[in-house]
Amino acid sequence: MWDLEFPRPGRTIRRTPRRPHKKEKPVEAALETPALIVDLDAVRRNIARMAAHAAEAGIKLRPHGKTHKSPIFGRMQLAAGAVGLCCQKVGEAQILVEGGIGDILVTNEIVAPRALARLADLSRFAKIRTVADNAQGIDWIADAAHAAGVEIGVLVDCDLGHGRTGVAEPAAAVALGRQIATTPGLRFDGLQAYHGTVQHVHGFAARAAAVAAANAALARFIAAFEAAGLPPAIVSGAGTGSFALQAAAGYTEWQCGTYIFMDKEYRDIGDEAGGAYQPFEQALWVLATVNSTHGPTRVVVDAGLKSLSLDGGLPEPVDLPGWKFAFGGDEHGKLLRDAAHAAPAPAPALGSQLRLLPGHGDTTINLHDAYEIFEGGKHVATWPVAARGRVK
Ligand SMILES: Cc1ncc(COP(=O)(O)O)c(C=O)c1O
């Protein structure tokens, strides 16, 4: 068990002023909560593990920066061999470029004139690519590139069945590829092929079947581009839940994001043996303080909707076996003892701190200004969630 240097459940923070005992940590050492805490050792292992998977498959890694929104984590990924980063928004790209990341794929359709102007401007300082699924959209990217005097690499966004962005028909995708290849200021760089929903299919067999269907769709796109004389130099896609099943699907680079921290939603999709999905370690939690107690079966913590997203399900109080998180409002979370549990932990004391594993990491991270970084179990640094809130 990871031994954190903050008061653990059951350890009451002493309030009466007195000289601290030599071995006792002063109360001031406790972090203010709610705090987004990260086990940097586990992050390092996750980064190395994914780099090894990609190397073994002979596929480049372009991790998705939408997860961490941080040039520091991005640079750690580059140092481990990643070719660049992905992000969803131009605002995120700006933060990553400012933080020294020189090669970025914006994996989302950018159509607003001001956003395109910012994208083109950024291309003067870094290698920037984006994606398109519409002829008009391609013209708008070209207009912005022309106005800024830059060339922008564009990938045709292919829909493998996700039903979000992307062109569903290979012939239509090829037509867009031709348009990009013949438009001054643009460079046809290949295909984006990301299928989001297959990542989270529960049960290995069902997920493998869903990914196989996506892979078959991708094969049709690649064949159509090759037949048209436009072989894609880049085929970019895949994520934390599907990459292992997409090693031989034609991808040249993987866009996985969540693997750096993992979250409860991913843990629960299940592995081949029917256990938890944990090719990577849990490395991120929200630390909360018990700020109200109500007997042996209910306490309240200071973390609610404003510090924990609930779109990926309720968080889990991992330090308290036999307890469950229940919605408590914007600033509160309730912890309830599960009556059916054989050996539940005793109710944590007022003022004690405990970890909550978020359902969905990405959306929880975006609620916080900073990461509190732990190394060797000790709090060593505070790093900004630099692109937090960059939704434009
Ligand atoms: C286009 C795109 N690529 C890659 C990813 C990364 O997926 P994951 O965080 O599941 O690894 C996402 C996640 O939403 C995405 O939208």
Residue 222 pLDDT more than 60?
yes
Tokens read off for 182: 């013949």
Separation of 256 CA from ligand 1 center, angstroms? 6
Is-contact 42 50, C-beta < 8 A? no
The CA 225 to ligand 1 mean position distance, Å, reads 24
Which ligand 1 atom is nearest residue 243's CA? Answer: 11
DSSP state, residue 199 = G
Q: Which of 158, 194, 280, 362 to mutate to test the pocket of ligand 1 (most atoms within 8 A of CB)?
A: 194
Query: Is the pLDDT score of 24 beyond 80?
Result: no
Q: Is the predicted pLDDT of residue 3 greater than 50, yes or no?
A: no
Domains of the chain: residue spans and CATH? 27-39+279-384 (2.40.37.20), 40-267 (3.20.20.10)
pLDDT in tens, 42-82: 999 999 999 999 999 999 999 999 999 999 999 999 999 99
If one residue of 86, 107, 253, 255 were mutated to test the ligand 1 pocket, choosing by the most ligand atoms within 8 A of its CB, it would be 255
Residue 214 DSSP SS3: helix
Which pLDDT score, from 0 to 100, does residue 126 have? 97
The yes-or-no verdict on residue 27 having pLDDT over 80 is no
Q: Residue 216: how many CB atoms within 10 A of its CB?
A: 12
CA distance linking residue 11 with residue 59, whole number of Å:
48
pTM: 0.93
pLDDT digits over 336-384, tens only? 999 999 999 999 999 999 999 999 999 999 999 999 999 999 999 999 9
pLDDT at 124 over 80: yes
Looking at the chain, the whole-number percentage of residues with pLDDT higher than 90 is 92
pLDDT at 6 over 90: no
Q: Return the structure tokens found at 293.
A: 């107690």
User: What value does the mean pLDDT of the chain take?
Assistant: 94
What residue's CA is closest to ligand 1, atom 7?
239
Q: How far apart are CA 391 and CA 278, in angstroms?
A: 30
152 alpha carbon – ligand 1 mean position (Å) = 22
Q: How far is the CA of 144 from the centre of ligand 1 (A)?
A: 26
Token pair 């067999």 is at which residue? Answer: 205
In this predicted structure, what is the pLDDT of residue 19? 57
User: What tokens appear for 275 in the block?
Assistant: 């256990």
Residue bearing tokens 């229940």? 326
Q: What is the pLDDT of residues 126-147, one digit of tens each?
A: 999 999 999 999 999 999 999 9
Rg (CA), the chain: 23
Residues 6 or more apart whose Cβ sits within 8 Å of residue 34: 286, 287, 288, 289, 302, 303, 307, 308, 368
| Secondary element (H or E) of residue 154 | strand 152-157
Residue 318 contacts residue 268 (beta carbons within 8 Å)? no
CA distances, 289 to each of 106, 131, 268, 326 (Å): 38, 43, 26, 15
Compute, in angstroms, the gap from residue 230 CA to the centroid of ligand 1. 26
Tell which one of 66, 89, 195, 258 to mutate to probe ligand 1, the residue whose CB is within 8 A of the most ligand atoms. Answer: 66
Residue 66 CA, ligand 1 centroid: distance in Å: 8
Nearest CA to ligand 1 atom 4: 255
* Contact (CB, 8 A) for 80 and 51: yes
Pocket of ligand 1 (CB under 6 A): 64, 67, 86, 107, 194, 196, 199, 239-241, 255-258
- For residue 193, the surrounding DSSP H or E stretch is strand 186-193
Please tell me the residue having the least CA distance from ligand 1 atom 3: 255
| Residue 30 banded pLDDT, cuts 50, 70, 90 | confident
Q: Going by DSSP bridges, is the β-strand pair 35-39/284-293 parallel, antiparallel, or unpaired? A: antiparallel
Which pLDDT band, with edges at 50, 70 and 90, does 302 fall under? Answer: very high
Instruction: Say whether 170 sits in a helix, a strand or coil.
Output: helix
Residue 266 CA: nearest ligand 1 atom is 10
326 pLDDT more than 50: yes
- Pick the range with the lowest mean pLDDT from 14-28, 57-71, 323-337: 14-28
- Please provide the distance, in angstroms rounded to a whole number, between the alpha carbons at the two ends of the chain: 40
What are the CB-based long-range contacts (under 8 Å, 24+) for 292-296? 292/350, 293/347, 293/349, 293/350, 295/347, 296/337, 296/346, 296/347
Q: Which atom of ligand 1 is nearest to the CA of 107?
A: 1
CB-based contact 351:49 (threshold 8 Å): no
The H-or-E segment that residue 210 falls in is helix 204-227
Q: Give 65 Cα–ligand 1 centroid separation in angstroms.
A: 9
Would you state the structure tokens that stand for residue 23, as one six-digit string? 């071995």
Cα–Cα distances in Å, from 214 out to 59, 161, 196? 18, 7, 10
How far is ligand 1, taken at its centre, from the CA of residue 239, in Å? 5
Ligand 1 centroid – CA 342 distance (Å): 38
Instruction: Please tell me the distance between residue 373's alpha carbon and the centre of ligand 1 in angstroms.
Output: 24
The residues facing 106 across adjacent strands are 87, 130
Ligand 1: atom nearest CA of 258 is: 9
From 49, 50, 60, 64, give the residue whose CB has the most ligand 1 atoms within 8 Å, as the site to mutate. 64
How far is residue 193's CA from residue 209's CA, in Å, rounded to a whole number?
17
Map residue 37 onto helix, strand or coil: strand
Give the pLDDT band of residue 17 (cuts 50, 70, 90). Answer: low
Question: Can you give the pLDDT at residue 18?
Answer: 55
pLDDT at 10: 41
- Taking the CA of residue 241 as reference, the ligand 1 atom at the shortest distance is 10
Tell me how far the alpha carbon of residue 362 lies from the centroid of ligand 1, in angstroms.
10
291 to 16, 288, 317, 325: CA distances (angstroms):
17, 9, 15, 15
Local structure of residue 16 (DSSP, 8 states): S
